[in-house]
Chains A and B, each alone.
Chain A
Amino acid sequence: MQNTIQVIGLKKSYRDLHVLKGVDLEVARGSIFALLGSNGAGKTTVVKILTTLLQQDSGTATVNGFDVVLQPSQVRQSISLTGQFAAVDDILTGRENIVMIARLRHIKHPHQVADDLLRRLGLTAAANRRAATYSGGMRRRLDIAMSLVGESPVIFLDEPTTGLDPEARIEVWNIIKELAASGTTVFLTTQYLEEAEQLANQIAILHEAGLS
């Protein structure tokens, strides 16, 4: 079976700081993969390389069969990223945020897509409020909703539950489980072993710049 994400010998340094010293990993299609590590272990660096935001010093990485360095636009067609800090537009309403992403993905009927996602993530009542008025949990759900636009086969979630209260965390967990059940490959990072165990089929621990 072909792996959705394949990483071999990934290295990345910032000047003298060796963040990644040769990371290898494989993620099977339709599974939930958790990358566990403490702050500064390099989790976000791995995510940035896999989502074409950053280039590695050496090693190769493919996502959905495309090389992140050689075929970045095909990779971007295949993925959605929910970054470490909820990247929602505060000035826009929840609905406007989703419609904006749908337009940028050149999807037909962006308003229809927005209504469906708002309903699915329980944001219908708040749809016409500016995102600035949302609670932490609602912002995260809107953030994830924006990543679900276009039904990308691979979704990256960088610390999706950091800073959320226990109730909001469970909501996000349920969303992630539903995603994987529908066949999406989920790559998530977390600081919590408990979260990784709850969700993931496969766990890797990133520490001392390598995997164990």
Chain B
Amino acid sequence: METIQSRIHLFKDMSVMLGRSMRHVSRSIDTIITVTIMPIAMMLLFVYVLGGAIQAGTDNYVDYLLPGILLIAVANSVGYTSFRLFTDVQRGIFERFNSMPVARSAALWGHVLTSLLSNVISLLVIILVALIMGFRPTAGILSWLAVLGILMLFTLALTWIAAIAGLAAKTVDGASVIAYPIHFLPLISSAFVPTASMPSGVRAFAENQPVTPIVEAVRALLFSKPVGSDIWVALAWCIAIMVVAYVFAMIVYKRKA
């Protein structure tokens, strides 16, 4: 009886925390620009300015580009998750929650769920713009669900990395510095052009980092092509990063908050 009650409380507490930090997202123009508007602007730039000169093997370049743009949107958001967590630790908000009869993990999970939900909303907006630009996927409902699943796993993996940075940082710059290396990964991958066109050293890096198999798997799913081994490599990367980052984040959280 008591455990059921405390579980209900945990969900209620988490939904309060989620509502709170979703307000942080929706009231920050800066966040919305970086996470949703910037990727859309990049998509417009690449399709309408550079796209004519890029040989990616699709009739409409937006068909090739969209998966990479979606990952860039997620990658852009992680710095903000770190920042929001850092502010909560620094301002004593976590201390206030922890001195209240609130489930300990609710505050942290509130941030993680916010990252998931806000990214799903922003990805939907970006996909809508791509559809207006002539993006015509052939995927059925199951493939779309698989795409959603992979993108959510990718978001979770990056969110837990962001959580480590946000909880462990001593300065606000330290909290958001984690975003920079993550921003680079989509740029040196098959997000914009096929890796076959790259010099061998760059190509080796591009083909063996997590973003390329994720992009390839999403692209194959969207256009009903065989996903091959990419989807398994993509899942392995996402799950491995997520588990390791989660464990470290929990260690830091228990020590800090």
Binding site for B on A (CB under 8 A): 51-53, 73, 76-77, 79-81, 83-92, 96, 100-101, 103-106, 146, 156
For the A-B complex, the count of residue pairs with Cβ-Cβ distances under 8 Å equals 57
Is the beta-carbon distance between A105 and B9 smaller than 8 angstroms? Answer: no
Is the beta-carbon distance between B20 and A89 smaller than 8 angstroms? Answer: yes
Q: With A53-B95, A87-B91 in contact, do A92 and B100 touch (Cβ < 8 Å)?
A: no
Binding site for A on B (CB under 8 A): 9, 12-13, 16, 20, 23-24, 27-28, 91-93, 95-102
Q: Complex: how many Å from CA A80 to CA B99?
A: 7
What B residues does A89 contact at CB under 8 A? 20, 93
Q: With A92-B23, A100-B20 in contact, do A84 and B97 touch (Cβ < 8 Å)?
A: no
Nearest-Cβ distance from residue B77 to partner chain A, whole angstroms: 17
What B residues does A103 contact at CB under 8 A? 12, 16
What B residues does A51 contact at CB under 8 A? 99
Q: Complex: how many Å from CA A83 to CA B23?
A: 24
Is the beta-carbon distance between A105 and B23 smaller than 8 angstroms? Answer: no
Main secondary structure of the interface of B (DSSP, over half): helix
Is the beta-carbon distance between A53 and B20 smaller than 8 angstroms? Answer: no
Is the beta-carbon distance between A104 and B16 smaller than 8 angstroms? Answer: yes
Is the beta-carbon distance between A53 and B99 smaller than 8 angstroms? Answer: yes
Q: With A73-B101, A91-B23, A104-B16 in contact, do A84 and B9 touch (Cβ < 8 Å)?
A: no
Q: Identify which of B13, B27, B101, B102 gathers the most chain A CB atoms within 10 Å of its CB.
A: B101
Q: With A83-B96, A84-B92 in contact, do A91 and B16 touch (Cβ < 8 Å)?
A: no
Nearest-Cβ distance from residue B218 to partner chain A, whole angstroms: 33
Nearest-Cβ distance from residue B95 to partner chain A, whole angstroms: 5
Is the beta-carbon distance between A104 and B13 smaller than 8 angstroms? Answer: yes
Is the beta-carbon distance between A76 and B24 smaller than 8 angstroms? Answer: no
Q: Complex: how many Å from CA A105 to CA B106?
A: 13
13 more A-B residue pairs beyond the given contacts A91-B27, A92-B23, with a C-beta to C-beta distance below 8 A: A53-B98, A76-B99, A77-B101, A79-B99, A80-B100, A81-B96, A87-B95, A89-B20, A89-B93, A91-B23, A92-B20, A101-B100, A104-B102
Q: Complex: how many Å from CA A81 to CA B95?
A: 9
A-B contact pairs, 17 of them (CB 8 A): A52-B98, A53-B98, A76-B99, A81-B99, A85-B92, A87-B92, A87-B95, A88-B91, A92-B23, A96-B23, A100-B20, A101-B100, A103-B12, A103-B16, A104-B13, A104-B16, A104-B97
